[in-house]
Structure 1
Amino acid sequence: MIMQDSYESACQHSEKAHQIFTQHLLAPSPINYSVIYLYVCNRLPALNKEIEQHIAQDKLLTSEFIDQLFHKYIAETNNVESQVLAPFEKSINATMEKLKSQAISDKTMANNLELADRALNQSLANDNNADQAAVQKVLSFLSTNLTDSQSKHESLSKELAKTYQEVNQLKEKLKQSKEEAYLDALTGLLNRRGCDAKLADVTLEDAHCSLAIDIDHFKSINDTFGHFVGDKVIQRIAKVIKSNTSSKDVAVRFGGEEFVVVLTNQSVAQAKMIAETMRKEIHALRLMQRQTQTYLPPISVSIGIAEVNHDHTWKDVFERADKALYQAKETGRNRCVIAETVAA
């Protein structure tokens, strides 16, 4: 688990990270920074071990190597945004504030040098003094170096602004990657991991119902028409499930031909109506195998319904819905069965 740093600690780690960038000729890009920041924090032993083994072989840390470590150790870390990118942003902001302050100071100095130069020019016009001429040369030297410093500060500010944009882009990519990791690739419904994440925000104290859905005789469909057609059947059924649920509900492909739906803030009577609608729409599907122009036999599902009722965990709710599902299977399939309530 990645722990939160204080601002002061984050700045110290950031400074160490920048030293490594310099030593290994690495650009301080968001991905490079994320990996090196965690390395100097010494909180991911496996990551540190790989980096130290790499360095022990007298190898420079390359962007390609860092990218591999990022996807291996960090991309799936839920806290990467708050624990890595946030300190990076703070470091950038702090540096930019210092640059702004320095720019104001440089501008003030430039104005003072210009005033001094004018005064010396006026004095030299009246009295050609060698000391005054020497001072003017010093002023000219300082002015030239100050102009160079201002140019470097401006260039660094632009680079920091660009890096800040890259941080935001990386945040967006991480968000997209996280969302994709929660979805079933075949159906677009949530997978088990996505189910767990969404249910974390749904309290068992409210009125909810769970549906356990299983495609009847699915093995026969796969054996007769092939897995490609089987996948199409799963996709069509998922589409029916999705069309009968809201964004507040939790629709999941639980595995194979099994689906789970949590209908939030719905009574068991309402859940039964929704389940029956799904069942009827699925049974009304008429699917054809295009290659052979052969219609598939009518498709049906069995559905178990369980209302949240004195359950301690979602697992308890799902188990009761699953038992009701098997009752539906045992009593003829293509039907919905409501689970028994749990005694208080």
Structure 2
Amino acid sequence: MNNAVSLSHSAQYLKKAVPMMVKYRMPVTPINYAIWYCYFQGNKPSLNIELDQVISEHQTCTQSKAKEIFDKHLSDEDLALFQEMSDKFHNTVENIQQDISITLGHSKSFSTSLIDSQNEINSLIDTNSFNDILGCVERLTDESIAMQDSAREFQTKLSVAYNEIKDLKEALNLSKEAADTDPLTGFYNRGKFDSDINDFCREYSEQTTESSLAALIMFDIDHFKRFNDDFGHQKGDEVIKLVAKKVKENLTDKAKVYRYGGEEFCITAYFDTINDLVAFAECIRQEIAKLAIRKKQDVNNKRAISASFGLAMLRPFTKSSVLVERADRALYIAKTHGRNRVEIAPDI
């Protein structure tokens, strides 16, 4: 593997490597990064073949298997790539800082020359001092040209650094987005929910005034197992996608939606009143209830889709675990009362 690559070039591989690790549930370790980096670099076909085979058989690559692939195809020098790119990033920042200092130095020198020249011209009141004035103007011209050259050079360096840092930032943003997103629905995933729900509760508790109502909405698709049993898992995935599409179409700006697990989802949102909260959930429920799915070979065998909803309003200083428990209890009540309905959690 060629280590002599630019930061921008490394970022291109990073854009591809990190999302693959996330997709196949592989931790972002130096070893995993090295084998995926080499995979997309494409200069070791045998590594690509072996990694493809492992992923095809297991839908992941364990740490022990990754180490085995690394030892077979790569070396300790390749393991340094991750650290090298980090070093390059920091070096780029340091170079920018140095260039700024140098350019500021030129700027200060030019400013000093301007002041000195102004003082000199003010002192040249004799009409016979034209030669001295011309000499002063000539020095200023030289200083100005030097300053412009320095500024142009600095602008070029800034442009190169900006592009490289922008590439790296985009790569890291993509990898973070991939790590937080459920690939089937495009919603945030369970890991993101576990992180966000704590912030959701804390931020609401820190509000100086309770000008809005915060709520957690939990819902899941009714009788989802039957879709998988009767239509197959691919149709089950299609059901989840159809429901996700309806939810997206009816989301508000103040709502975040998560795939909590399987056919279960969560929404955190702010509302003006309880009536607004219930109306929001009812709207989504009714839109989902309009959906149906069928087998391709049997146009008459349609199966309606519906979902049950549990709502829990957030009280100040409520722990996230309590809020989730209350929403889950409301969802259970909706299920026991016949499904395809909305229930509000009782206060506990």
**TM-score, length-scaled by structure 1:** 0.58
Within 2, Cα distance between the matches of 1:156 and 1:60?
37
Q: Which residue of 1 aligns with 2:279?
A: 273
What is the total number of aligned residue pairs between the two structures? 245
Match of residue 92 from structure 1: 95
Q: What pairs with 1:149-298 in structure 2 (closer than 5 Å)? A: 161-199=159-197, 200=199, 203-205=203-205, 206=210, 207-293=213-299, 295-298=301-304
**Counterparts in 2 of 1:32 and 1:95: CA distance versus 1, 3 Å:** farther
Tell me by how many angstroms 1:90 deviates: 3.4
- Indicate the RMSD between aligned Cα atoms, in angstroms: 4.2
Q: Does 1:29 align with 2:27?
A: no
CA distance in 2, matches of 1:241, 1:70: 44
The separation in 2 between residues aligned to 1:247 and 1:220, in whole angstroms, is 34
Q: Is the 8 A contact 2:30 2:82 kept in 1?
A: no
314, 321, 325: which one pairs with 1:319? 325
The change in CA–CA distance for 1:198 and 1:89 in structure 2 (over 3 A counts) is: farther
Larger gyration radius, structure 1 or structure 2? 1
Identical columns (%): 30
The residue type paired with residue 340 of structure 1 is P
Q: For the residues of structure 2 that align with 1:32 and 1:314, how far apart are their CA atoms?
A: 40
Q: Distance in 1 between matches of 2:262 and 2:326?
A: 20
Separation in structure 2 between the aligned mates of residue 258 and residue 223 of structure 1, nearest angstrom: 18
Q: Take 2:342 and 2:218, find their aligned partners in 1: how far apart are those partners?
A: 10
Which string of whole-angstrom CA distances, capped at 9 and with x for unpartnered residues, describes residues 250-288 of structure 1? 111101000111121343322111111111111111323
Tell me if the contact between 1:328 and 1:334 (Cα under 8 Å) persists in the aligned partners: yes
Residues in 1 aligned to 2:226 and 2:252: alpha-carbon distance in whole angstroms = 32
- What amino acid maps onto 2:191 in structure 1? R
Q: Please give the alpha-carbon distance, in whole angstroms, between the structure 1 residues aligned to 2:188 and 2:100.
A: 43
Do the aligned partners of 1:283 and 1:299 also contact (CA within 8 Å) in 2?
yes
Q: Secondary structure at 1:293's aligned position in 2?
A: strand
Shift of 1:29: 2.7
Partner of 1:148: none
List per-residue Cα deviations over 1:83-107 (Å, max 9, x = no partner). 995x545302123246658999xxx
Task: Give distance in 1, aligned partners of 2:257 and 2:273.
Answer: 17
Identify the residue that residue 107 of structure 1 maps to in structure 2. Answer: none
218-227 or 185-194, which deviates more: 185-194
Query: Which digits, 9 at most, give the CA deviation of each residue in 1:70-128, with x for residues without a partner?
Result: 89xx8xxxxxxxx995x545302123246658999xxxxxxxxxxxxxxxxxxxxxxxx
Uncovered stretches (5+) of structure 1, i.e. residues with no partner: 1-23, 34-45, 75-82, 105-153
* Larger CA deviation: 88-97 vs 328-337: 88-97
Q: CA deviation at 1:300?
A: 1.3
